[in-house]
Chain A
Amino acid sequence: MKQAQFSVASKLVGDAAVIYPKGYLNNLSGESLVKECGIYIRRGITKIVVNFSETDLINSIGISMLLQIMEDLRNIKGTICCTNMSKFLHDTFEMLGLIQHMTVFPAESDAIDYLKVRTT
């Protein structure tokens, strides 16, 4: 079955950037996710929400991209929230031990509410 091309959309909600990856995060096209987050980080945004509602699958390449975003945010003492994760994604992050390094919410609105009260 042909995979849809990976793409990224984003928007600013208050002082947080919400990123919407779409498609299978499994090849170099996933670099666009890192770049999109990088754009907000360079603009001084320290709160990023990644809404995975349209990304059910991820492989080692995608994990590497996500690590990069986590490290970029850690370097500026920022926060990453992941929302709307499929069971596969959640289990994978948990098994790898990454879940402790991100804040997970079932829905995007929960993450936005959580970030509203955070100073960094």
Chain B
Amino acid sequence: MSTELKKALYNISALADLGQAITSESAFHEKIQAVFYVITGTFLANKGAILAYDTSSKKLETLTKKGFASTDLDPLAPEELLPLGKNEPCLLKDAPFLAVLGAEVLVPLWVRDQFIGALLLGDKVTAGPYTPEDLELLKIIATQIAITLNHHSLFVDLSDKLEENHRLYEEMRRIYHGTIQAFAAAIDAKDAYTQNHSHRVAKYSSAIARELGWNDHDIEGIYVAGYLHDVGKLAISNDLLNKVAPFTPEEIAEIRKHSTLSHNIAAKIKFPWKNVEDMVWHHHERLDGHGYPDSLMREDLSDGVRIITLADSFDAMTSKRPYREKMDVQTALTELRKCLNSQFDNKIMLVLCRVLDKEIKGELPEPEILPNLDKNSDLTIISSLLEGIIAELSAPPSAA
């Protein structure tokens, strides 16, 4: 085989090496380093560098180099390269400024009309000249490197934009939650007895949803519904909300309007979560159809509605109201158990008990219910009660 043929085969093999280096799954800098080895190994260059053009600083940044000292490449100004041919190798004799750098060949890297960077090579180790065949091959290689650098640059731009979008989304989300919490604070401020009630219902509901295996997006939705479930109370008079004496039938009817009012307010907001309006609207419905405002039956009540209903009642029972003292936790749980099937859902009650039991036993890293309960509660008694309810509700239904 002639030397020319052997050299041609070696060059073809080098192009295959280049393709493999460019398409590898390595990190960008490893990829560029492998590409650089292919070039210096193909042309036997004693020096070399790959530089990328930074559009913001308008400077050439050295990605990798060999044989050049750190300041050798500083005199290379992008504007000197712009008049040269795109991806066309330029020899020292045609570009005298290369002598300052100690380079023999320079290739300005372009993709379409965009200047991407430059490739520099020094003399050959064998002291031979760069042949026309070398320059043809170098042009092909330079085009591939330019595309690789451009792809990386586009990828970095896209990643930056994605990160910025994510930051803006998180910022918007914080504002959104802040607004919702401000709403809730306004509701709770109307009624001295229900301070932080919306906050607690939001917490309890999301804790139950998480235990049920809901995804993070849906948990956030029920958290917001918990905050807004009583927003309609803004339209109910303070005197009525804080009334100590028993309500008249007219007053009861007036207070019951709050869930529909909550829905009307929430419906004006385009939530990114599903069913928030439904959860807000129907948090006073019952499984037996005796709830309000629509007397919906069991099959019409979503898990979300059932969760908010239970969380709302549990917090109402364990909080002081104008017309009664607060119940201790075990009494509240006993009352809830009495109302299973008629008012509350067995499955949701079981999950509430499991969450609370886990929180008491320290099995959950961030408890959401326990910190809001009476600090003087006897946790041993509560835990024992919870275990009983869990066992009862977990048991398979007995045959009739």
Contacts and interface: CB of A to CB of B under 8 A. Distances in A.
B125 A98 contact: yes
Contacts of A98: 44, 125-126
Contacts of A62: 41
Contacts of B126: 96-98, 100-101
A64 B40 CA distance: 6
Interface in A43-102: 59-65, 67-68, 70-71, 91-92, 95-98, 100-101
A120 interface: no
B338 interface: no
A67 B126 CA distance: 10
A96 B34 contact: no
A87 to B, nearest CB: 12
B13 A59 contact: yes
Nearest to B31: A28
A2 to B, nearest CB: 15
A68 B7 CA distance: 21
Contacts of A27: 34
Contacts of B41: 59-65, 67
Contacts of B37: 28, 60-61, 64-65
Nearest to B11: A60
Nearest to B9: A95
Given A61-B38, A92-B10, A28 B125 contact: no
Contacts of B30: 28
Name the interface size band of chain A.
20 to 34
Given A96-B126, A97-B44, A101-B125, A28 B6 contact: no
Contacts of B13: 59-60
B46 interface: yes
B66 A60 contact: no
A32 interface: no
Contacts of A7: none
B33 interface: yes
A68 B47 CA distance: 10
A10 interface: no
B44 A61 contact: no
A74 B92 CA distance: 25
B380 interface: no
Interface string B19-46: 0010000100010011011111110101
A62 B41 CA distance: 7
Given A71-B125, A98-B44, A64 B6 contact: no
B128 A97 contact: yes
Interface in B114-162: 125-126, 128
A26 B46 CA distance: 19
A64 B126 CA distance: 13
Contacts of B128: 97
Contacts of B328: none
Q: Could you say which of B6, B10, B41, B126 has the most chain A C-beta atoms within 10 Å of its C-beta?
A: B41
B34 A28 contact: yes
A98 B128 CA distance: 11
A35 to B, nearest CB: 14
A17 to B, nearest CB: 21
Contacts of A64: 36-38, 40-41
Nearest to A58: B41
B369 interface: no
Contacts of A26: 17
A68 B10 contact: no
A81 to B, nearest CB: 17
Interface of A: 26-28, 59-65, 67-68, 70-71, 91-92, 95-98, 100-101
Given A28-B33, A60-B38, 9 more contacts: A60-B17, A60-B37, A60-B39, A63-B42, A67-B41, A67-B125, A91-B6, A95-B7, A97-B44
Interface of B: 3, 6-7, 10, 13-14, 17, 21, 26, 30, 33-34, 36-42, 44, 46, 66-67, 125-126, 128
8 contacts: A28-B26, A59-B13, A60-B17, A60-B37, A60-B41, A61-B34, A61-B38, A92-B6
Which 9 interchain pairs have the tightest Cβ spacing?
A64-B41, A60-B41, A63-B41, A97-B126, A64-B37, A61-B37, A60-B14, A95-B6, A64-B40
